[in-house]
Structure 1
Amino acid sequence: MPAPATPPTIGRPRDAALDAAILRAAMELLGERGLSALTMDAVAQRAGAGKASVYRRWKSKDELLADALAMYAPVDVEIDTGTLRGDLIALYAHHYGIGNPVTQAAMQEILGNVRQHLAWTAKVAPARLTTRRAKVQEIFARAIARGEIAAPSDLDLVADLVPAMVLYQYNTRAQKVSRARLARLVDGLVLPLVGLPGTAARP
């Protein structure tokens, strides 16, 4: 008995290059204009795509932006430099898009409109903040397990220090995030609290 014929593929295959262009356009517009000004029309125009092409891939701006953030600013990353200091600086640098101008601009915009973005995250991608925080706690747990530090008496407080200071300095003193600033916060705040020497002069 002959094998059944393979049914023909329905529709055209996705264009990976166009997908990437649309996602990049969404991140660029987020960084330049903010969440409220990011529209499907604006994304289509920036990407050089038809509006129908964008809607064929994503039904809403929320879905599009969630995928753009997942691609450009993933939170479930594996970082292990061998030290608490190295891990924290590398993870926070990743979270704030250091080294990637598109991601960094978007993260800076989020810092300036954190209430709006927290509301969006709670509605569209609630696991994003949970995963991000879990990665910080994982880094501390690994440092404790290898005997680098003793367990802090208040890990939640220690884990909040760098993000809290980044947000405060950005919104009250217009100090943008950089790797050097992250290192200074880790060295000056976190390491002394967990019994390690810290100095802002370290690279």
Structure 2
Amino acid sequence: MAGAERGRPRDPGNDAAILDAALDLLIERGAGGTSIEGVAQRAGVAKLTVYRRWRTREDLLMAALEHARDPDLQGPPSAGGSLEEVIGHVAALLSRPRFRALMARVIGASVDHPKLVTAYTERHLRPRLEALAEVARQAVADGQLPPGTDPGVLEDVLAGSIGFVLLRGEEEVTAAEVERRLRALLGYVGYEPPG
């Protein structure tokens, strides 16, 4: 038959299993402790199945980060959301051990795997920071932040909150604790909640 594909058809279920396994291993062992062989074993597929889809470990790990779609791994709301929504979402996100572990692993990879961190920043983090800047501009326009507030101050507040929860290590961190900290930090820059 003309145009027929040779070999066995690609199983789309394998892609998801591989990416889930890569993300789990990244969280458990870090980028340096995650190998193609380990991912293949965890996913229950042959090494060649992984290599056919991703040429390098960094390509695989970046794909795993992009694949992450469960609520534990989602970023702040998109542009058009309110600062109150961001506060609630970030507080819930930072209270989740899986998300904190992932953030610690991504930050820790910056020394030995700078390409992975650069790709994560460009593809995942930067769009969320741009949306956050738009939320900040809207909060200024709505009188919730003082006129002339640099939108980058919200990045600093979030970075400080991430640092706060990561430095707590294994200690449990509740969403209410994170929310109180976020509100205190935002209060120092003049945030006035609506109503």
The separation in 2 between residues aligned to 1:6 and 1:74, in whole angstroms, is: 44
Report the secondary structure of 2:128's partner residue.
helix
1:116 paired residue number: 111
In the superposition, relative to structure 1, how do residues 69 and 92 fare at CA in structure 2: closer, same or farther (>3 Å)? Answer: farther
In the superposition, relative to structure 1, how do residues 149 and 126 fare at CA in structure 2: closer, same or farther (>3 Å)? Answer: closer
Residue 35 of structure 1: CA displacement? 0.9
Report the secondary structure of 2:106's partner residue.
helix
Provide the alpha-carbon RMSD of the alignment: 3.3
User: Does 2:24 align with 1:25?
Assistant: no
In the superposition, relative to structure 1, how do residues 74 and 59 fare at CA in structure 2: closer, same or farther (>3 Å)? Answer: farther
The separation in 2 between residues aligned to 1:188 and 1:136, in whole angstroms, is: 18
2:185 paired residue number: 189
Check conservation: 2:87, 2:182, Cα contact below 8 A.
Answer: yes
Residue 17 of structure 1: CA displacement? 1.4
1:201 paired residue number: none
The separation in 2 between residues aligned to 1:9 and 1:59, in whole angstroms, is: 22
The separation in 1 between residues aligned to 2:80 and 2:111, in whole angstroms, is: 32
Spell out the pairing of 1:1-203 with structure 2 (5 A cutoff). 7-72=3-68, 73=73, 78=78, 83-91=82-90, 93-94=92-93, 103-111=99-107, 113=108, 115-116=110-111, 119-128=114-123, 129-171=125-167, 173-174=168-169, 178-196=174-192
The separation in 2 between residues aligned to 1:116 and 1:125, in whole angstroms, is: 14
Higher relative contact order (CA 8 A, sep 6+): 2
In the superposition, relative to structure 1, how do residues 68 and 123 fare at CA in structure 2: closer, same or farther (>3 Å)? Answer: same
**Count of matched residue positions in the alignment of Structure 1 and Structure 2:** 188
The separation in 2 between residues aligned to 1:165 and 1:107, in whole angstroms, is: 12
Structure 1 segments unaligned to the other structure (5+ residues):
199-203
Q: Sequence identity, in percent?
A: 28
The separation in 2 between residues aligned to 1:69 and 1:28, in whole angstroms, is: 10
Report the secondary structure of 2:111's partner residue.
helix
Residue 196 of structure 1: CA displacement? 1.3
The separation in 2 between residues aligned to 1:136 and 1:117, in whole angstroms, is: 29
Residue 194 of structure 1: CA displacement? 3.0
Report the secondary structure of 1:38's partner residue.
coil
The separation in 2 between residues aligned to 1:45 and 1:25, in whole angstroms, is: 9
Check conservation: 2:65, 2:120, Cα contact below 8 A.
Answer: no
Residue 69 of structure 1: CA displacement? 0.3
TM-score, normalized by length of structure 1? 0.73
Report the secondary structure of 1:105's partner residue.
helix
CA offsets per residue over residues 150-197 of structure 1, 9 Å max, x none?
4453332342122134225523x4356653343122211114423315
For 1:88, the aligned partner's letter is I
The separation in 1 between residues aligned to 2:120 and 2:173, in whole angstroms, is: 23
The separation in 1 between residues aligned to 2:181 and 2:63, in whole angstroms, is: 30
Structure 2 segments unaligned to the other structure (5+ residues):
none
In the superposition, relative to structure 1, how do residues 90 and 137 fare at CA in structure 2: closer, same or farther (>3 Å)? Answer: same
For 2:190, the aligned partner's letter is V
